[in-house]
Structure 1
Amino acid sequence: MIEAAKIWNEPNNKSHWDPEIDPDWSRFAQMARLAGQAIRAENPRVTRVLGGLSPIDPGYLQLLDGYGVLDEVDAVGVHGFPLDWNLWSIHDWPQKLDEIRAVTDKPVWVTEAGVSSFGAEEVQVWGVKRTAELLIGRAPRVHWYSLYDLPRAWEATTRHKEAEGSSYYRHFHMGLLREDGAPKAALEAYAPYAAEMGLCQWFHFEDHRLDEAVAWLKRLGVKHLRTGLSWADSLRPDALAWFDRQMEALSDFAVTVTFCFTPEECGIAPHHTSPPRAPEEFAEFCAAMVRRYGSAGGALTAAE
């Protein structure tokens, strides 16, 4: 069921990891190493992916390599949103991949690439097509972000929220479907690429969209899906029942599952971006999820 296990999400984005607590990234490095070792010990056929770098920063990857993190992963994930948040052109995607390949021999996966419909749906349509042209065939995995718009009643995972201006509101317009499930123009543009360019869709705890999402994924012919299992959610009542339901619903896809988000009671600070007090607890969570949902038949290798 799990093709790959991704260790954290955008660790070098301060909305997902607190650099004030971990200014030299040594805490993250220790946690990532332990998680990689635990995943490999549990199921060596599951590809271990270092959480998607955002921004795409070869210097940061070299820092982690110095801590030995790359010894415990099989691939490196990157995220890019050049028409919405990044200060580079969408046409620079091949260059961005080459910058990472210059400092590691690990395969580079694009675990999130997206364009919002914030300004105009026509921009997103063009963005889907151009992203597919630039990335399919250049990376072993490409995941478009995302299937659904983020519901406006939910908060985007970012620190400064509305103070970020339009950057914050773009979070809510990244989907191929609107919040209510209605298709946008970009859905039709994405469909021809669905077999080669997978999707990323995060599901919140007991997410009401799960069954409808699976129906859309199958209708589109999606083969590769990226989602997440939250360490923080794992301490909720009935968490395993929800995880079982989610992963069973996604069993027909090759799933890259992202493990991230610190439970408040486990962090140095009571926040999901905090380094954990005991990094081995995160590793234990990763191992338990791979044990429960890892494919017995084995996943593809990182380069396939």
Structure 2
Amino acid sequence: MIEAAMIWNEPNNKSHWDPEIDPDWSRFAHMAKLAADAIRDVNPSLTRVLGGISPIDPDFLALMKSYGVLDHVDAVAAHGFPLDWNLWQIHEWPQKIEELRAVTDLPIWVSEVGVSTFGAEEVQLWGLRRTAELLKGRVERIQWYSLYDLPRAWPATTRHKEAEGSSYYRHFYMGLLREDGSPKPALEEFAKHTPDIGLMQWFHFEDHRLFDAVKWMKRLGVTYLRTGLSWADRFRPDALAWFDRQMEALEDFNVTVTFCFTPQHRGIAPHHTSAPMVPEEFAAFCAEMTSRYARPSKSLDLIGRSPHSSGQPMRPMSFPTQPRE
């Protein structure tokens, strides 16, 4: 059911990896290599992607290269939110991609890019159009974050909390759909760019939005989806039943699964961002999920590359401006 496995999420962001425990990222590099090898041993044809870096930092990618991590993966990924959190402007996207290409010849995925409607919904509409102009044909995969707004009753997965003012609250307004499921103006624009642009949508444990999300993605013409399977959730009662239900619901899509989140009782510190006490346990989780959900046979050359992976412009295609019923 999955076409690619992503190893962790935003490893250079303190919201997802604690730099006080691992200041030189050597623990992360060791864990990532173990996980990549475990995935390969179970399914050699599955594309392995280094977790999307945020901020986009070629020096961090160079550090991973020096540790040998890039020799164990098939693609690298980056996340960018220049209209909300990054300290650069949206028109700098091509420059940011070229900075990464100077470090590696591996395919580059933009596995999260999005615009919050915190200030105005019209900003998201403009940002989506401009993002498509700047990235389509320039990278091997683009995935828009996200389909749904984060429910206000849920916490955002970040260490920053309200300490950064509106930056925290912007997390709750990244969707093309509002919390109540009603569409924002950018939804029709997004439909013009599928399947070239896919989606990134986290599904929380036993997420009530799962089946409605599937209906929406099919209406929008989405074929590429990125989501996550949490190592921490693996220790919940009935975890495999939820994982099975989630992955079965998503079986009609080309799914990239992100493996991440340390169980509190298996971390050096009791937090999901902590380096694990035993990194081999994370690798074993990746192997278990790969064995359970990965498609058994696809050529590596055909996996994980969008139709425009050669860098050449795609031929014009026609997509509906309204979600399909």
Confirm or deny a common fold (TM above 0.5): yes
What is aligned with 1:6?
6
- 1:1-304 aligned at under 5 Å gives the runs 1-298=1-298, 300-303=302-305
The alignment's TM-score, normalised by the length of structure 2, stands at: 0.92
CA–CA separation in structure 2 for the residues paired with 1:113 and 1:295: 27
Matched AA of 1:275: A
Deviations, residues 200-245 of structure 1 (Å, cap 9, x unaligned) = 0000000000000000000001010000000000110000000000
What CA deviation, in whole Å up to 9, does each residue of 1:163-216 have, x standing for no partner? Answer: 110100000000000011110111011111121100000000000000000000
What residue identity is the alignment partner of 1:282?
Answer: F
Structure 2: distance between partners of 1:231 and 1:187 = 32
Distance 2:298 2:8 in 1: 22
Taking structure 1 as the reference length, the TM-score comes to: 0.99
How far residue 303 of structure 1 moved from its aligned partner, in angstroms, is 4.4
Q: Tell which deviates more after alignment, 294-303 or 58-67.
A: 294-303
Per-residue deviation, 1:160: 2.4
State how far apart, in whole Å, the 2-side matches of 1:24 and 1:195 are: 38
The superposition leaves residues 122-180 of structure 1 with CA deviations (integer Å, 9 ceiling, x where unpaired) of 10000111111111111111000000000000011111201110100000000000011
Report SS of the residue matched to 2:97. Answer: helix
Distance 2:212 2:244 in 1: 17
Deviation at 1:298, TM superposition (A): 2.0
Q: CA deviation at 1:301?
A: 3.4
Q: Deviations over 1:67-90 (max 9, x none)?
A: 111111000000000000001111
Q: Which residue type is aligned with residue 19 of structure 1?
A: P
**CA positional deviation for 1:8:** 0.2
What one-letter code is carried by the residue in structure 2 that aligns with 1:270? Answer: P
CA distance in 2, matches of 1:168, 1:53: 19
3-state DSSP of counterpart to 1:129: helix
Which range moved further: 293-302 or 252-261? 293-302
- The residue matched to 2:226 in structure 1 has which SS? strand
| Corresponding position of 2:317 | none
Question: 4+ residue stretches of structure 1 with deviation over 4 A?
Answer: none
The 2-side partners of 1:191 and 1:129 are apart by 11
| In structure 1, C-alpha distance between the alignment counterparts of 2:49 and 2:238, rounded to whole Å | 28
Q: Distance in 1 between matches of 2:172 and 2:304?
A: 31
Distance 1:177 1:235 in 2: 31
**Match of 2:296, as an amino acid?**
A
Structure 2: how far apart are the matches of 1:223 and 1:131?
Answer: 19
In 2: Cα distance, 1:187 partner to 1:262 partner: 34
Please state whether the residue corresponding to 1:193 is helix, strand or coil.
coil
- CA RMSD for the aligned pairs? 0.9
Percent of aligned pairs sharing the same letter? 74
Q: Per the alignment, in what secondary structure is the counterpart of residue 227 of structure 2?
A: strand
Q: Distance in 2 between matches of 1:184 and 1:110?
A: 23
2: CA distance, partners of 1:40 / 1:117: 40
Whichever residue aligns with residue 215 of structure 2, its letter is A
Contact 2:3 2:304 in 1 (8 A): no
